[in-house]
Amino acid sequence: MALASRNITSAKRKYKPNHSELSIIIPAAGMGYRMKSYGPKCLIDIYDNKSIIERQIEILWSIYPKAEIFVCVGFESEKIRKSLEKYPVRFIYNPIHETTNVLYSLGLAIQATISKEVLIVYGDLIFNEHAVRNLRGDSKVVVDECGDIGKNEVGLILNEKTVTNFSYGLDSKWAQIVYLTGKELEIFKRTSIKEQNAQWFGYEALNQVIENGGQLHYVKPKLMKVLEIDAPKDLEKIPKNKLTFG
């Protein structure tokens, strides 16, 4: 498979002393085969006439107001762009989203950042503010201890302080939120931009971070609520208003 050129993002902004050191990447380029008829999953309305991704952006900017947000698009990208016209986010287009996986989109976005810190939040998640608070510092992942993430999703093996492996079939579940900086960010970036890894999922690159000497700490926010919209049946789990999910 010949991959498209990666020179498809807008030019990086010059570094300014007051520019945030944090970039937030929301991958939302995939089709989601089980929900294709609904269009981009991130545009599903939840409540207050807000889509999933609008709620994500508003929560993230309420906590990290100086962060620059990158949205990876591909499937029906113009719908996403139009729906977010009022939000000053940057769009990263993956022209081969149908034949690549999420790591390829993340690689495109990471190349466009100039930040020393990157927070990745998957675009089909509904969460409250507790899921993304206090994540800066050491590289870390968010663990779902409430059983909100489905049993068939990616899990992790934990020791006292860090994650030792990501895999399916494990009880503890990754909430698909990860903060990377320093050595861990560099390893993830190198892994994400390799053409032979274009079919990889994000967790596979996180395993590479660990295997190459990086350390991923973990947090288990006590008041966190998180829901992944992965199949039509998940729509029934969406709370009727934000108070019940806050």
Task: Name which residue leads in pLDDT, 9 or 152.
Answer: 152
pLDDT of residue 31: 74
- pLDDT tens digits along 70-120: 999 999 999 999 999 999 999 999 999 999 999 999 999 999 999 999 999
User: What is the rounded average pLDDT for all residues in the chain?
Assistant: 89
pLDDT of residue 140: 98
Q: What is the 3-state secondary structure (H, E, C) of the chain?
A: CCCCCCCCCCCCCCCCCCCCCEEEEEECCCCCHHHHHHCCHHHCEEECCEEHHHHHHHHHHHHCCCCEEEEEECCCHHHHHHHCCCCCCEEEECCCCCCCCHHHHHHHHHHHCCCCEEEEECCCEEECHHHCCCCCCCCEEEEECCCCCCCCCCEEEECCCEEEEEECCCCCEEEEEEEEEHHHHHHHHHHHCCHHHCCCCHHHHHHHHHHCCCCCEEECCCCCCEEECCCHHHHHHCCCCHHHHC
Query: What is the arithmetic mean of pLDDT over 50-69?
Result: 96
Cβ-in-10-Å burial (0-12, 13-18, 19+) of 21 comes to middle
97 neighbors 198 (Cβ within 8 angstroms): no
Please give the Cα distance from 132 to 143 (Å, whole number).
11
Distant-in-sequence, close-in-space partners of 137: CB < 8 Å, separation ≥ 6: none
**pLDDT bracket for residue 13 (50, 70, 90):** very low
Write b or e for each residue in 87-116: b if 16 or more Cβ atoms lie within 10 A of its Cβ, otherwise e. Answer: eebbbbbbbebeebbbbbbbbbbbbbbebe
- pLDDT tens digits along 129-161: 999 999 999 999 999 987 888 888 999 999 999
**pLDDT bracket for residue 10 (50, 70, 90):** very low
For residue 145, what are its two tokens?
Answer: 């201890």
pLDDT of residue 242: 63
In the chain, pLDDT over 90 holds for what percent of residues?
Answer: 74
Lowest mean pLDDT among 8-17, 45-54, 66-75, 205-214: 8-17
pLDDT of residue 7: 42
DSSP-derived pairing of the beta strands 117-121 and 173-181:
antiparallel
**pLDDT bracket for residue 35 (50, 70, 90):** low
Instruction: State which fold the 22-231 domain adopts.
Output: Spore Coat Polysaccharide Biosynthesis Protein SpsA; Chain A (3.90.550)
Please give the Cα distance from 50 to 44 (Å, whole number).
8
Number of other CB atoms surrounding residue 244 within 10 Å: 10
pLDDT of residue 65: 95
In the chain, pLDDT over 70 holds for what percent of residues?
Answer: 87
- pLDDT tens digits along 165-185: 999 999 999 999 999 999 999
Query: What residues does each domain of the chain span?
Result: 22-231
